[in-house]
Amino acid sequence: MSNTGSERDAVLLPTGLNSHSYITARSLSRHGIHTVLASDRADLPVYAGRYSNETIIIPAAEDDLIAYKDALVGIAARPDIRTIIPAQPQDTYLLSKYEEEFEEYVSVVTPSFESLKNVHDRLRLSEIAEEAGVPVPETRLLDEVDDWSPELIVKSRYNLLAEEYADSYTPHDMGIVKTIEHLQPGEEPDVAVLCEKMEHTPIVQEYVHSSDEYVFGALYDHGEAKTTFQHRQIRADSYTGGGGVYRKSVHIPELEEVGRTLLDALDWHGLACIEYMRDAETGEFKLTEINPRMWQSLPCAVRAGADFPHDFWLLATEQGDLIEPGYKVGVGSHYLYGELKYLASLVQTDSTLVEPPSFMSSISDVLLSIVAEPHFDTVYLDDPLPIVYGVREAIRKSRRP
């Protein structure tokens, strides 16, 4: 690397409309690390915060993935930039695939490209989990299903689409597929329509009736866990499931075991956010997916004392021995915009498998939990502007046709 002897230490944070970018910048800046935030937008709420030390406009990844990558490499070439923290689906993909380009200038903490492809491929990931003894819902390709009598869901095989995963994609293309279809017992979907909609052949999984949903977060150093974290997801951004918007930190030995077992089997390196469902019948923690980057509910982890942004920095700058694992149990946090999305899902989303709760009782639940746990992802008295700009953005989005 060529950036020793720089006058200051800086970190590059590719960012977007997400709360974990704010908490990452806040954490690092409070540790004296200069934060450089890069996006194709100039009006992000995180930019209004006191912890966004510098902002740079770059091409949109959705328009040209290679142009986006080249822009990141160009910023990484600055002598003060020490590492890049992945926050969006394409970031880890690019850092891993083009590791040699980035490593010329900065320290890259990402899994090998082969390990990453195993995680991106939900079918292959389910096979690896089964081989490691980690419970996982029965998973098959859509065009291989011949029995539609059970309760099933259809979802993308690849959440991130790129040239390795979709035949029609070039190195310049990327896509995000979050479509999930809930099927009634005996309902046979139109395979061709779903494949066209998702731009690849999706997977079919058994529907798991879960008592609770959990996240296991981890930072690994070439197969060795440096720090881990767990939370229970009390509410998601949809009543049918999704990213956690109200969560509380927990520590469950069985969850720790399945989380570490899976990452050990992958010989993991870098960040991992693993989502699990607790089977209501068996009590098993069943794998949902892995996000190999900073995650939406990161603010809950940091508030509880699991400071993943700073720990990532320490590992990237060869100070991994300074990482102190551990966190407080019972610490909760709300993502306010996500709470609104949850309430909106009650009237905008239909599911044949999940019965929506009462709208009025849900409003009561949200309000009571906010009173009981008044901690929020981006609301801080010492830095009020991001939430003000965030409300403005939410209003703007609600007015769009």
Q: What is the pLDDT of residue 243?
A: 78
Q: CA-to-CA distance for 324 and 8, rounded, in angstroms?
A: 24
Q: What is the pLDDT of residue 397?
A: 63
Q: Where are the domains of the chain?
A: 10-111, 138-206
Chain segment 220-245, per-residue pLDDT in tens: 999 999 999 999 999 888 888 777 88
Pair 196, 202: CB distance under 8 Å:
no
Q: CA-to-CA distance for 326 and 234, rounded, in angstroms?
A: 22
Pair 90, 84: CB distance under 8 Å:
no
Pair 295, 306: CB distance under 8 Å:
no
Q: CA-to-CA distance for 75 and 58, rounded, in angstroms?
A: 10
Terminal-residue alpha carbon distance, the chain? 48
Q: What is the pLDDT of residue 378?
A: 77
Q: CA-to-CA distance for 378 and 381, rounded, in angstroms?
A: 10
The amino acid occupying position 375 is: H
Averages of pLDDT over each 10 residues, the chain, 401 residues: 58 88 93 96 86 95 98 98 96 98 97 97 97 96 95 96 96 94 92 95 94 96 98 88 87 98 98 96 95 93 96 97 96 86 87 84 88 83 76 63 55
- CB count, 10 Å around CB of 186? 9
Say what the pTM is.
0.90
Q: Which two tokens stand for residue 102?
A: 């980035």
Q: CA-to-CA distance for 179 and 153, rounded, in angstroms?
A: 10
Q: What is the pLDDT of residue 45?
A: 82
Sign of CA dihedral 219, 298, 27, 371: negative
Q: CA-to-CA distance for 378 and 390, rounded, in angstroms?
A: 9
Of 1.10.3720.10, 3.40.50.20, 3.50.50.60, 2.170.190.11, the CATH number of 10-111 is 3.40.50.20
Q: What is the pLDDT of residue 1?
A: 38
Q: What is the pLDDT of residue 47?
A: 86
Q: What is the pLDDT of residue 3?
A: 38
